[in-house]
């Protein structure tokens, strides 16, 4: 489809940013300074609000000029950055007023209009960045999207006056994270370093060794793989109490749960990878008079690396989940699972969310490190060529 065949908007696209900012200004002039005040005061009353407003208007104008004047691949990057900046500045104005006590009391109020204007601008900016080329846009889009979710969480919880017992704000979670950092660090060490990591290494290592050992034995494969499917279908809440009875209340029982959860995914994926080499490649190794060990090292294991990394990434999340859930069934007075269960009983929901944030950050970092290692070691695979 050519540009001439595209539908024309009734309003020129370069002026949409300014129109949205203008609507936000009109809404802000009617927004009360606080819900406790009977007299409506303009939103843009303080000097910081004026600075943010002027910055938002300037960014929207600059985005309009960039969209009209800049050509080539830099156009989408400049337009996306400036439009998102305008939305972010308007969002900060609304955030300050929400902290002062403004609530979303009625539909299509000034607060709703200002929030909608900020969301439209940020979304338009992310759309522009997604069309840009380069590493910077690829990093900015997910960062902006994550920050937008956290912002909505904060503003909507405060604007709708959601009780903290149901859902604490991100700022409250951050305060709990800072205030209880020593406790959370001890929980992290107990759960991740002493339980999840040893169990992960043992389970993945045993799965790999067993896969290599039985790769040429169809009898053992037909016997073990159904058992693996059976164990994988077993719930953690059924395995964890048994392991606590066998290995005690310390980290050994949690590591044993992680071993059970990670062993069979690694076994199945490694077996599939070892059998991924084609007949042509195997015939080539035989023509070179390569033995079984040489074929394994030079052909089968390199071909199995993508499958093994899939199992390693899957097990990185399973290991952390297994260790946390296992701590619900008996543990010393430390650990993420212990912290979640005890603080929920005390109605300290902010500490529970802080623990969840630490676990999510640890799991995401572990997964991301494995993904980077996979890209560095399997750069030759078609899945990495993009």
Q: Looking at the structure, tell me whether residues 144 and 206 fall in a common domain.
A: no
Higher-pLDDT residue of 4 and 374 is: 374
- The rounded mean pLDDT for the chain is 79
Minimum mean pLDDT range among 18-27, 134-143, 294-303, 304-313: 18-27
Higher-pLDDT residue of 198 and 77 is: 198
Q: pLDDT by residue (tens digit) across 327-341?
A: 888 777 888 988 998
Residue 236 covered by a domain: yes
CATH code, domain with 59? 1.20.120
Residue 216 covered by a domain: yes
CA of residue 49 relative to chain centroid, distance: 32
**Measured distance CA(82)–CA(125) in Å, rounded:** 7
Domain stop point among 106, 129, 162: 162
pLDDT at 300 over 70: yes
Q: pLDDT by residue (tens digit) across 212-227?
A: 888 777 777 777 777 7
**Percentage of residues of the chain with pLDDT beyond 70:** 77
Q: Looking at the structure, tell me whether residues 221 and 303 fall in a common domain.
A: yes
Q: Looking at the structure, tell me whether residues 156 and 181 fall in a common domain.
A: no
Q: Looking at the structure, tell me whether residues 34 and 61 fall in a common domain.
A: yes
Residue 285 tokens read as 């190794």
Which pTM does this prediction carry? 0.77
Residue 170 covered by a domain: no
Q: Looking at the structure, tell me whether residues 107 and 229 fall in a common domain.
A: no
Minimum mean pLDDT range among 28-42, 259-273, 278-292, 344-358: 28-42
Higher-pLDDT residue of 20 and 61 is: 61
Domain boundaries, position 189: 177-384
pLDDT at 293 over 60: yes
CATH code, domain with 209? 1.10.3720.10
Q: pLDDT by residue (tens digit) across 118-170?
A: 888 888 888 888 888 888 888 888 899 999 999 999 998 988 888 888 889 99
pLDDT at 193 over 70: yes
Q: Looking at the structure, tell me whether residues 134 and 240 fall in a common domain.
A: no
* Buried-exposed string 128-161: b where 16+ CB fall within 10 A, e elsewhere: bbeebeeeebeebbeebeeebeebebbbebbbee
Q: What is the pLDDT of residue 381?
A: 67
Residue 13 tokens read as 């696209």
pLDDT at 40 over 70: no
Q: Looking at the structure, tell me whether residues 273 and 200 fall in a common domain.
A: yes
Residue 196 covered by a domain: yes
Number of domains in the chain: 2
* 180 neighbors 351 (Cβ within 8 angstroms): yes
Axis-axis angle for helices 336-345, 349-377 (nearest 10):
160
**Measured distance CA(218)–CA(148) in Å, rounded:** 52
Residue 172 covered by a domain: no
Q: Looking at the structure, tell me whether residues 107 and 150 fall in a common domain.
A: yes
pLDDT at 257 over 70: yes
Q: What is the pLDDT of residue 225?
A: 74
Residue 168 covered by a domain: no
Higher-pLDDT residue of 341 and 97 is: 341
């Amino acid at each position: 489809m050519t540009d001439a065949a595209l539908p024309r908007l009734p309003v020129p696209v370069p002026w949409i940013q300014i129109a949205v900012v203008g609507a936000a200004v009109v809404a802000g002039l009617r927004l009360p300074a606080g819900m406790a005040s009977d007299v409506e005061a303009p939103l843009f009353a303080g000097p910081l609000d004026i600075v943010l407003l002027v910055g938002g208007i300037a960014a929207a104008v600059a985005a309009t000029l960039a969209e009209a004047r800049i050509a080539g691949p830099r156009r989408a990057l400049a337009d996306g950055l400036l439009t998102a900046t305008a939305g972010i500045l308007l969002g900060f104005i609304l955030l300050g007023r929400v902290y002062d006590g403004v609530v979303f009391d009625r539909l299509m109020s000034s607060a709703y209009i200002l929030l909608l204007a900020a969301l439209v601008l940020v979304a338009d900016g992310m759309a522009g960045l997604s069309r840009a080329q380069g590493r910077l846009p690829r990093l900015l889009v997910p960062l902006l999207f994550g920050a937008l979710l956290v912002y909505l969480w904060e503003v909507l919880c405060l604007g709708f006056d959601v009780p903290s017992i149901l859902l604490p704000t991100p700022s409250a979670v951050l305060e709990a994270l800072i205030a209880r950092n020593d406790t959370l660090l001890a929980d992290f060490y107990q759960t991740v370093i002493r339980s999840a990591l040893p169990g992960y290494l043992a389970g993945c290592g045993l799965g790999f060794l067993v896969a290599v050992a039985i790769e040429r034995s169809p009898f053992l494969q037909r016997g073990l793989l159904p058992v693996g499917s059976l164990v994988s279908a077993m719930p953690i809440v059924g395995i964890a109490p048994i392991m606590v009875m066998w290995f005690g209340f310390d980290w050994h029982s949690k590591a044993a749960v992680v071993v059970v959860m990670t062993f069979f995914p690694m076994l199945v994926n490694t077996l599939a990878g070892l059998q991924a080499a084609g007949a042509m490649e195997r015939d080539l190794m035989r023509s070179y008079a390569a033995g079984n060990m040489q074929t394994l090292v030079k052909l089968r294991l390199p071909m199995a690396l993508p499958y093994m990394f899939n199992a390693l990434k899957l097990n990185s999340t399973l290991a952390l989940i297994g260790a946390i859930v296992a701590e619900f069934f008996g543990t010393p007075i430390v650990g993420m699972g212990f912290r979640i269960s005890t603080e929920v009983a005390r109605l300290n929901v902010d500490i529970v969310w802080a623990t969840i944030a630490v676990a999510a950050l640890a799991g995401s970092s572990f997964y991301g490190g494995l993904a980077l290692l996979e890209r560095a070691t399997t750069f030759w695979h078609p899945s990495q060529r993009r």
